[in-house]
Chains A and B, each alone.
Chain A
């Protein structure tokens, strides 16, 4: 019995600006079921981190519990990691981010971890606008406990045992827009051309960035009648726009036809290039984004791509005016400014 990844990589792999080839961003060999959508998302994250020239030690990956939350073991082995309690990833991410704002925070969660046990945590982390990327690997079922319907399973969707789901599903993307997330996107594990630029743009976003990724569970939810199977998603997928993320200082060379092309310039000069496919949709307008999601749903369509973005987002540190440096870099003098300063503060409070 052998299940070992060879050490050899393609001899012509290119190095990124930091001098790393893409394999430097890999993780351990996945133990998820063969064909799991989550593995594709992991591959997308590896690709995005490589293309974004992320220094692995400047990134922290966090997760809760579930199939999805196992995946941080399978990417970015050289980064920090925290596998937290079920549904409690946002709390840990909040604590970590407040202590050290210099890292890129990358949270991975599943539909159970987010839409059921962690729902309270999820909505509050959005409300607080924590600067992080939050990816839900959404397969509509509890794969780790043999495929029971989750809270994101669509009403009427049939599971592997042939039972039809009777309950309304929670639409995480609409919820995130509703709660004020400043970057909301939806994607499909089987479409890396779309997923990778979205992850890159999300990582670069200065506030809370949410990506809901439909990720079929091959073992328990890839049957006929399921609305989260590879076949169903491919037949019903629609997109707001094709998307490309162009980091700062790069010349934009692609020309699109008039009227359909939109560039969103971000806070740091980077650009999200959109080639619009959906009509009457403005990615900078929350209401328009909501409408687009609702319209698509009415047409039985799964709307993917960037849904909403606010380039002028402010994160939790801005809102509560914290230290602009990580706490571990503060010196004793800064932390204990002396009795004179204490007296001044006390005087202010009198």
Chain B
């Protein structure tokens, strides 16, 4: 193999599994260390710069970082990842004054005007990134408050309104011109105003319906999940029947069933077509539903709504079993026996949501594909109309808040480039830094000790309280001590093991000391051969091999990044400092930090 080019920031970026997996590439280990040092404000600001909504995400993020967390791989005996998401909340809960650290208006106007349609996370991110550059930002939303689906779909027992208001407020306070209670009916009309750019962050607002017998007759008690959740959030709906059926296996279904429990649903049941293990909902959301006595009944396909005398009585289901062909493709095969009738006063349909652009005229130069989705550039987020950008769920369908934020950052960069007459393809390099952590013998600037603690559980409020008050937050969050202990579980994967070939005397000290047998000195070979020639075969192909230049004995140093604990013992035992522990800081450049207009 060729020697690894560690000058390419993407190599070490990939070693920081959590950060690499995060759509916004938040520098996770950096803020976790700050939490351990009780520097909550600084930890919050690292998050705020990267993901804009630390308090919201610390409660509701889909956390792609956690399945990626190296800690989940290191013992093969069920060691769980660091509770990254809930640590973010610790920073948000305990922070001091952050407002003083944020950009503060009024900003010198640059004479450009941008319209943002929809006030969800994608648009708000664009607003935050562009406002400090002097853009005049106009934010449109049909609701009376900003936040988009963070407000209408995420129930307050998961995300208190105060937290959302605070973080939306930080952005609106940058001098954003808000146009709430204003449904944009025509993009043509918006483009007709003197905006230099329009960003569409209108989400995927259309809940999928279920067209089966009885749907029309029972309409009064059959609700589309996301609309129902929005009605609850905006207090148009305050009650639900005693017996409730929720259809669907995603996170929206979980939010629906748990909300129904709080609005009078004593017997709430979730019915899913697929097997339990294949449900789209996050495991922790399924656990939370189970904790609230909500059964999730899998392998049931809805057949009809049963309506008698104009009143919904319940639903019938067909029982199925999942069979898989040799390609692993799933087929739901009916199990013989009569259909099953389940009583219900109300049914909530949460079987997915779709994009919908009835307000975008099709003669504006914006190309739509056969699924009626706009053609959007995956890097620049520009549509086929150079002045119109898309991001968040409206670009490629429903994802999550953190993805919307990541889109917003990139779209903001594109808008800034476009408004300055520059090529959108000239993306900004990330901010990167690599600094030695050595302070002396056995002394490192980071806490190198690897603790053996198991993952701490986030405490929850008493069920008696939470089930009777829709707004009472269920999770209490880690207190400062539990936050510290959980933070200590982080392996500091951003403290990189940096190898200098010239300094190595091949004494084997690093090989002997490495607790997880990551380091080998061997003859060089092709990657596939090399992987099997190491002290422990490197079977995880998603993890790179770090290969040195050729050493005096004609061998190479090969390090399998897979289960490196970043404990620093290789560097500790290296007599010549050929190994060094260096802190790698990688931050995606935003429009406001590395903007085109400043250069």
Contact with B along A240-271 (1 / 0, CB 8 A): 00000000000000000000000000000000
> For residues 1 through 37 of chain A, which have their beta carbon under 8 Å from a beta carbon of chain B?
1-13, 30, 33-37
Is the CB of B573 closer than 8 A to any CB of chain A? yes
Chain A residue at smallest Cβ distance from B512: A43
> Assuming the A-B contacts A34-B575, A230-B505, are A2 and B447 also in contact, with contact meaning beta carbons closer than 8 angstroms in the complex?
yes
A33 to B74, CA, bound (A): 28
Note all chain B residues with C-beta closer than 8 A to A12.
Answer: 76, 536-537, 539
28 contacts between A and B (CB under 8 A): A2-B447, A5-B569, A6-B565, A7-B452, A9-B515, A9-B516, A10-B516, A10-B563, A11-B77, A12-B539, A34-B509, A34-B573, A35-B574, A35-B576, A37-B507, A39-B508, A39-B512, A39-B573, A40-B508, A43-B512, A189-B508, A190-B506, A190-B508, A192-B508, A216-B507, A230-B505, A230-B507, A234-B506
Is the CB of B552 closer than 8 A to any CB of chain A? yes
Most chain B CB within 10 A, of A4, A9, A40, is at A9
Contact with A along B561-584 (1 / 0, CB 8 A): 001010101001111100000000
Is the CB of A42 closer than 8 A to any CB of chain B? yes
- A10-B517 in contact (CB<8A): yes
Note all chain A residues with C-beta closer than 8 A to B444.
Answer: 2
Chain A residue at smallest Cβ distance from B577: A34
Our pick among A1, A2, A40 for the contact of B512 (Cβ within 8 Å) is A40
Is the CB of A218 closer than 8 A to any CB of chain B? yes
Contact with A along B442-460 (1 / 0, CB 8 A): 1110011110100000000
A7 to B442, CA, bound (A): 18
Note all chain A residues with C-beta closer than 8 A to B539.
Answer: 12
Which 10 residue pairs of A and B lie closest in terms of their CB atoms, listed nearest first? A35-B575, A11-B76, A6-B450, A43-B512, A2-B449, A3-B442, A35-B507, A34-B575, A218-B575, A10-B517
A25 to B448, CA, bound (A): 24
Q: How large is the interface on B (under 10, 10 to 19, 20 to 34, 35 or more residues)?
A: 35 or more
Note all chain A residues with C-beta closer than 8 A to B567.
Answer: 5-6
Note all chain A residues with C-beta closer than 8 A to B542.
Answer: none
Chain B residue at smallest Cβ distance from A216: B507
Note all chain A residues with C-beta closer than 8 A to B471.
Answer: none
A11 to B512, CA, bound (A): 17
- B508-A4 in contact (CB<8A): no
> For residues 346 through 382 of chain B, which have their beta carbon under 8 Å from a beta carbon of chain A?
none
> Assuming the A-B contacts A6-B565, A8-B74, A10-B536, are A39 and B513 also in contact, with contact meaning beta carbons closer than 8 angstroms in the complex?
yes
The minimal Cβ–Cβ distance linking B550 to chain A, given in whole angstroms, is 15
Is the CB of B278 closer than 8 A to any CB of chain A? no
> Assuming the A-B contacts A8-B516, A11-B74, are A2 and B508 also in contact, with contact meaning beta carbons closer than 8 angstroms in the complex?
no
> Assuming the A-B contacts A4-B449, A34-B573, A42-B512, are A13 and B536 also in contact, with contact meaning beta carbons closer than 8 angstroms in the complex?
yes
The minimal Cβ–Cβ distance linking B566 to chain A, given in whole angstroms, is 10
Is the CB of B8 closer than 8 A to any CB of chain A? no
- B572-A230 in contact (CB<8A): no
The minimal Cβ–Cβ distance linking A153 to chain B, given in whole angstroms, is 20
Note all chain A residues with C-beta closer than 8 A to B74.
Answer: 8, 11
Is the CB of A63 closer than 8 A to any CB of chain B? no
Note all chain A residues with C-beta closer than 8 A to B77.
Answer: 11
A234 to B512, CA, bound (A): 19
A40 to B575, CA, bound (A): 13
Is the CB of B553 closer than 8 A to any CB of chain A? yes
Contact with B along A40-65 (1 / 0, CB 8 A): 10110000000000000000000000
Is the CB of A227 closer than 8 A to any CB of chain B? no
Chain A residue at smallest Cβ distance from B567: A6
Note all chain A residues with C-beta closer than 8 A to B516.
Answer: 8-10
Is the CB of B242 closer than 8 A to any CB of chain A? no
Is the CB of B75 closer than 8 A to any CB of chain A? yes
Since A36-B509, A39-B513 are in contact, a sample of 8 more A-B pairs with Cβ atoms closer than 8 Å, ordered by chain A residue number, is A2-B444, A8-B452, A8-B515, A9-B515, A10-B517, A33-B575, A37-B507, A190-B508
The minimal Cβ–Cβ distance linking B159 to chain A, given in whole angstroms, is 35
Note all chain B residues with C-beta closer than 8 A to A310.
Answer: none
Is the CB of A97 closer than 8 A to any CB of chain B? no
Note all chain A residues with C-beta closer than 8 A to B576.
Answer: 35
Is the CB of A68 closer than 8 A to any CB of chain B? no
Note all chain B residues with C-beta closer than 8 A to A222.
Answer: 505
The minimal Cβ–Cβ distance linking B73 to chain A, given in whole angstroms, is 7
Our pick among B509, B515, B553 for the contact of A39 (Cβ within 8 Å) is B509
Contact with A along B470-511 (1 / 0, CB 8 A): 000000000000000000000000000000000001111101
A193 to B386, CA, bound (A): 64
Note all chain B residues with C-beta closer than 8 A to A189.
Answer: 507-508
Note all chain A residues with C-beta closer than 8 A to B515.
Answer: 5-6, 8-9
Chain A residue at smallest Cβ distance from B518: A10
> Residues of A at under 8 Å CB distance from B?
1-13, 30, 33-37, 39-40, 42-43, 189-190, 192, 216, 218-219, 222, 230-231, 234
A35 to B79, CA, bound (A): 32
Chain B residue at smallest Cβ distance from A5: B515
> Assuming the A-B contacts A4-B449, A8-B515, A8-B516, are A35 and B505 also in contact, with contact meaning beta carbons closer than 8 angstroms in the complex?
yes
Chain B residue at smallest Cβ distance from A222: B505
Note all chain A residues with C-beta closer than 8 A to B505.
Answer: 35, 218, 222, 230-231
Note all chain A residues with C-beta closer than 8 A to B442.
Answer: 1-3
Note all chain A residues with C-beta closer than 8 A to B73.
Answer: 11
A190 to B509, CA, bound (A): 10
> Assuming the A-B contacts A13-B536, A39-B573, are A8 and B507 also in contact, with contact meaning beta carbons closer than 8 angstroms in the complex?
no
A265 to B517, CA, bound (A): 33
Most chain A CB within 10 A, of B77, B444, B537, B567, is at B567
A37 to B77, CA, bound (A): 34
Most chain A CB within 10 A, of B75, B565, B573, is at B573
> Assuming the A-B contacts A11-B563, A34-B572, A218-B575, are A40 and B449 also in contact, with contact meaning beta carbons closer than 8 angstroms in the complex?
no
A32 to B508, CA, bound (A): 14
> For residues 506 through 537 of chain B, which have their beta carbon under 8 Å from a beta carbon of chain A?
506-509, 511-513, 515-518, 536-537
A39 to B514, CA, bound (A): 12
A189 to B567, CA, bound (A): 25
A230 to B515, CA, bound (A): 24
Note all chain B residues with C-beta closer than 8 A to A5.
Answer: 513, 515, 567, 569
The minimal Cβ–Cβ distance linking A164 to chain B, given in whole angstroms, is 23
- A8-B565 in contact (CB<8A): yes
A293 to B385, CA, bound (A): 83
A1 to B586, CA, bound (A): 27
Chain A residue at smallest Cβ distance from B565: A6
Note all chain A residues with C-beta closer than 8 A to B448.
Answer: 2
A231 to B553, CA, bound (A): 10
A7 to B77, CA, bound (A): 13
> Assuming the A-B contacts A35-B505, A40-B512, A43-B508, are A8 and B75 also in contact, with contact meaning beta carbons closer than 8 angstroms in the complex?
yes
Our pick among A3, A8, A10, A40 for the contact of B509 (Cβ within 8 Å) is A40
Chain A residue at smallest Cβ distance from B515: A6
A40 to B517, CA, bound (A): 14
> Assuming the A-B contacts A1-B443, A6-B450, A34-B572, are A11 and B75 also in contact, with contact meaning beta carbons closer than 8 angstroms in the complex?
yes
A192 to B513, CA, bound (A): 14
Note all chain B residues with C-beta closer than 8 A to A10.
Answer: 516-518, 536, 563
A6 to B553, CA, bound (A): 31
A216 to B79, CA, bound (A): 40
Note all chain B residues with C-beta closer than 8 A to A192.
Answer: 508
A231 to B552, CA, bound (A): 9
Chain B residue at smallest Cβ distance from A11: B76
Contact with A along B10-40 (1 / 0, CB 8 A): 0000000000000000000000000000000
Chain B residue at smallest Cβ distance from A4: B449
A245 to B577, CA, bound (A): 35
The minimal Cβ–Cβ distance linking A310 to chain B, given in whole angstroms, is 32
A231 to B513, CA, bound (A): 22
Note all chain A residues with C-beta closer than 8 A to B572.
Answer: 3, 34
The minimal Cβ–Cβ distance linking B194 to chain A, given in whole angstroms, is 61
Note all chain B residues with C-beta closer than 8 A to A42.
Answer: 512
Note all chain B residues with C-beta closer than 8 A to A7.
Answer: 450, 452
Note all chain B residues with C-beta closer than 8 A to A6.
Answer: 449-450, 452, 515, 565, 567
Note all chain A residues with C-beta closer than 8 A to B512.
Answer: 39-40, 42-43
